[in-house]
Structure 1
């Protein structure tokens, strides 16, 4: 998953980046409402982690703007533990969940997976497609019940494809899931990861739709 973190405290932002990166996520960080608006307008994110108190305004007002534009990206608010009014206002403004500071990074990661799962209308934590099962919480996958060794980015590509197996994902979409703003993107990185996945899951596991991108083959 690719996550936008809107947080002006550099220590907190760096901690979130480090913790979620270890869980296989690609993280982009901004410090202001204005930069968050620009980032959301130019990129597709799996979720947003949003602080309420920002240098140029309220995260809740930013959230209202996001929802007024029809942007349904899942949003998790970071709040002070004792600010009940902020939590209520945030949920009423369209937040999908909240987490009080200080927080545990493993809990943050789990809550993000949960709000993304709800967005996709899934009750189960496992993504299944034919003999392939992918477990986002554990960061692993199986084929016919047998473990499949995947690199972090191979896992990210497979995750993106299995979220909506019938949907064609373009190369640009997959690159967005794999890389943050500061990452160097190899020109054929997606093709290499798809090739490796086919070698591990079967040549027919992933279809190439010429001129459009990739999708999981019908099971």
Structure 2
């Protein structure tokens, strides 16, 4: 059960998010940024995923940006103090202290540490060796060298369109009020939204 120390975000989790991140077989996982990579953790394992195809479009979307503003999810220069906690069963997202979320995630696993056999280890190594360039792109491994692949781009479009449906007129007005007060996050989000609207009109 989610503790009261976590703040529920007023946006439900995009249903395609676990697949985009590369998480499976757990109810809860966390998202944050560290070591120059968008990172996920489930309390026992962790990995990286695409910053440009998933992490940035998620946290900077107008549906979420202002709600995440008070929190430090990590950067190239700063270790994360907070993380986003995702509940796959209920489709909810929360934000809370990094250490508290990691402790919470560890509770979803058995107390007994699972022992991997030599065969399982060899199978895991082989799976990595057999991974295609496109699969590695989807995990964001080569973003500094090339763009993400078309499948990842399509998933990004679907996630952004899904988040768009959760934007209300009241939220837009809230952003406008904050922007008029000089809030940088609000101004950036509105500029991004305006640019998207202009690009959509050009394609009509």
Q: Which has the higher helix share?
A: 2
TM-score above 0.5: no
Q: Give the TM-score normalised by the residue count of structure 2.
A: 0.26
Of structures 1 and 2, the one with the larger relative CO (CA 8 A, separation 6+) is 2
